[in-house]
């Protein structure tokens, strides 16, 4: 779980032993959904992948299921660790990843069979360090959830390759900047060079991570293809109404975003859209909680 193995090959793209994609899945008490999630990764049309299952101190049968998959498929590695939350679990996966690209998937969601092949194809064709795609919302039984599904549709088309700040400025006015990390394929060198990790100890950590990741990106692309299925379930972390914790998390993310931007210089339009996003984020926190 250290970075020592990575240092032997500083240019990840040139490592013949590196898989195309490292899929990182934090696992915590999801025995009912884990099989569908993992199976969706292992049956990908892109076989050149590694799957890192980070068991975050689960108390159900999830650890045994993870180990079973590792015994059945050599592409699967399991990290067992004490419970520390999904941010810490994802960070452990980042440190262990060897792929040219990194993809984060939550253990109660799943992806379409050709998702990684399509995402890598776009990323390689346009030399992207960040590729965005779309998703569908499903209910606990895996059926399309119309009330939520309509919320995940972007309103604009973004066919050009842009740097991350310019892409953010283009998407934000149409409410098309989505902070969900599961809708991103990330070049691992972007994570290495930026040193970006998930903020540990808070829910809603995607708000901060994806925002900074986009602004750190130099070549960002998007395709309107739904490659990921987001499961809407009442027991998930993001849908548990712990108001005080949620408010604290949102305000923590907002403070970190402001601090980050205060150390950067952006074009006037990008700065204007960032300020508008901050205002929206504060309003949303106040309205929801």
Q: What would the pLDDT profile of 212-261 be if each residue is shown by its tens digit?
A: 999 999 999 999 999 999 998 765 444 455 688 889 999 999 999 999 99
Task: Quote the pLDDT of residue 5.
Answer: 36
Let me know: does 26 contact 55? Beta carbons within 8 Å: no
Reply yes or no on whether the pLDDT at 11 is more than 70.
no
Task: Quote the pLDDT of residue 38.
Answer: 98
Other beta carbons less than 10 A from residue 199's beta carbon: 19
Let me know: does 96 contact 79? Beta carbons within 8 Å: yes
- Which is more confident, 10 or 240? 240
CA 63 from chain centre, in angstroms, equals: 22
Q: In which band, very low, low, confident or very high, does the pLDDT at 13 lie, cut at 50, 70 and 90?
A: very low
Let me know: does 145 contact 231? Beta carbons within 8 Å: no
Q: Which two tokens stand for residue 230?
A: 């987001």
Q: Which two tokens stand for residue 272?
A: 């204007």
Q: Which two tokens stand for residue 196?
A: 């970006």
Question: 152-169: per-residue pLDDT in tens?
Answer: 889 999 999 999 999 999
CA 128 from chain centre, in angstroms, equals: 16
Task: Quote the pLDDT of residue 241.
Answer: 55
Is 3 exposed, middle or buried (CB count within 10 Å of its CB: 0-12, 13-18, 19+)?
exposed
Task: Quote the pLDDT of residue 235.
Answer: 52
């Amino acid at each position: 779980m250290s970075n020592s193995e990575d240092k032997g090959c500083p240019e990840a793209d040139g490592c013949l032993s590196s898989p195309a994609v490292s899929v990182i899945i934090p696992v915590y008490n999801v025995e009912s959904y884990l099989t569908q999630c993992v199976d969706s990764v292992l049956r990908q049309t892109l076989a050149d992948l590694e799957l890192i299952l980070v068991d975050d101190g689960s108390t159900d049968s999830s650890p045994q299921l993870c180990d079973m998959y590792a015994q059945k498929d050599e592409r699967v590695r399991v990290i067992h660790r004490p419970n520390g939350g999904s941010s810490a679990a994802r960070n452990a996966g980042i440190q262990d990843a060897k792929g040219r690209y990194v993809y984060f998937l939550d253990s109660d969601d799943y992806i379409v069979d050709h998702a990684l092949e399509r995402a890598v194809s776009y990323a390689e064709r346009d030399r992207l360090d960040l590729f965005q795609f779309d998703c569908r919302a499903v209910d606990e039984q895996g059926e399309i959830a119309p009330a939520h599904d309509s919320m995940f549709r972007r309103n604009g088309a973004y066919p050009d390759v842009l740097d991350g700040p310019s892409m953010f400025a283009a998407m934000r006015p149409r409410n098309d900047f989505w902070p969900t990390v599961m809708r991103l394929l990330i070049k691992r060198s972007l994570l290495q060079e930026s040193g970006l990790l998930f903020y540990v100890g808070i829910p809603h950590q995607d708000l901060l991570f994806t925002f900074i990741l986009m602004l750190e990106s130099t070549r960002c692309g998007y395709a309107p293809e739904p490659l990921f299925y987001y499961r809407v379930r009442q027991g998930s972390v993001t849908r548990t109404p712990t108001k005080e914790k949620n408010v604290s998390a949102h305000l923590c993310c907002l403070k970190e975003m402001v601090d980050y931007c205060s150390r950067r210089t952006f074009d006037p339009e990008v700065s204007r859209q960032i300020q508008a996003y901050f205002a929206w984020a504060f309003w949303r926190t106040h309205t929801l909680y």
